[in-house]
Amino acid sequence: MKNIKIGDKSYPNKLRVQMESGIHAREWLAHATLIWITNEFLTKYGTDIEITNSLRKVEWNFVVSGNPDGYEYSRNSYRMWRKTRSRYSITQTCYGCDPNRNYDYFWGGDGSSNNQCSDTYRGPRPFSEIETQNLRDLVLRLKPKVYAAVHTYVPVVLWPYGYKDNVIIEPPNAQAHRDLARRVASAIRGVNGLNINAGNTVDVLGAAAGGSDDWAVGVSASELAFTFELRPGCQGGFLGCISDIVPSGKEVLAGFLELSRSI
């Protein structure tokens, strides 16, 4: 698995931001959006003032393909595949687990399944997957100040925690999460008028324990963690068109630049 690092090396002490997309295989617009933004960063550094300032202040890290085996399976065999492709025993009929239920922070809690055939199967144990091990080790090594996971397809910017149903449990710096999530959502909305807001995960979606965002802020050294859910595709939900990439890319870039200005 690759991590793309972008920033102007000659500026010292940059703030580190780690983004992850594609942990859910079928959410193709997430991967495409980060790749599009990578191209913007690389081609507009030095001409676009906002991008230039951002790459002098922030070291951006993108793991675009957070679940490569799942993505390959979604590309070639079954478009709606979400999970990894692990096999835990030879007798097993259902493959893989949901990497976003596999992190070791309240692993096994609300909104995660112990049924191997469920799309929200948490795996046999925390960090059972090579994909989540790789992402964990990268984050422990790089210690990003901000961590964000990129998903689709009901637009929202989420802040932690998301592990316990019916009660909103937030990190001690919840106010900083709220302020930043709202600013980012409003920057995204400003581009094309996408209906996107910000909220706590449990408040907006209900609990889903074992996610990367909860682990980033609950266990790793990250101060802030978010999940960005991007726009639906033009064919509905996960199913998109090539023409979704530019509008999504412009929206999310505006969100990233707002994040960059605000940290």
Catalytic residue (one of 59, 229, 251, 258):
229
CB of 70 to ligand 0X9, least distance (A): 13
Q: Does 151 bind ligand 0X9 (CB under 6 A)?
A: yes
Q: Could you give the strand order of the β-sheet that contains 197-200, starting from the edge strand earlier in sequence?
A: 4-6, 58-63, 15-21, 146-152, 224-230, 156-159, 197-200
Residue 50 falls in the annotated catalytic set: no
Name the residue whose CB lies closest to ligand 0X9: 211
Q: Does 136 bind Zn ion (CB under 5 A)?
A: no
Q: What are the backbone dihedrals phi and psi of residue 20, each rounded to the nearest 5 degrees, phi first?
A: -135, 135
Q: How far is CA 252 from the centre of its chain?
A: 12
Residue whose structure tokens are 């090579």: 130
Stretch that binds ligand 0X9, among 5-13, 63-71, 138-146, 200-208 (CB under 6 A): 200-208
CB of 161 to Zn ion, least distance (A): 17
Question: From residue 145 to residue 164, what is the string marking binding to Zn ion with x (rule CB under 5 A)?
Answer: ------x-------------
Nearest to Zn ion of 146, 158 (CB atom): 158
Question: Using CA atoms, how far apart are residues 204 and 158, in angstroms rounded to an integer?
Answer: 8
Residues pairing with 21 in the sheet: 150
User: For ligand 0X9, how many residues bind (rule: CB under 6 A)?
Assistant: 13
Residues pairing with 16 in the sheet: 59
CB of 201 to ligand 0X9, least distance (A): 5
CB of 228 to ligand 0X9, least distance (A): 10
Stretch that binds ligand 0X9, among 2-10, 132-140, 178-186, 211-219 (CB under 6 A): 211-219
Q: Does 24 bind Zn ion (CB under 5 A)?
A: yes
Of 102, 75, 97, 94, nearest in space to 84 by CA? 97
Of 170, 256, 155, nearest in space to 213 by CA? 170
27-62: b (≥16 Cβ within 10 Å) or e = bbbbbbbbbbbbeebeeebeebeebeebbebbbbbb
Residue numbers at the binding site for ligand 0X9 (CB under 6 A): 24, 27, 100, 151, 158, 162, 201, 205, 208, 211, 213-214, 227
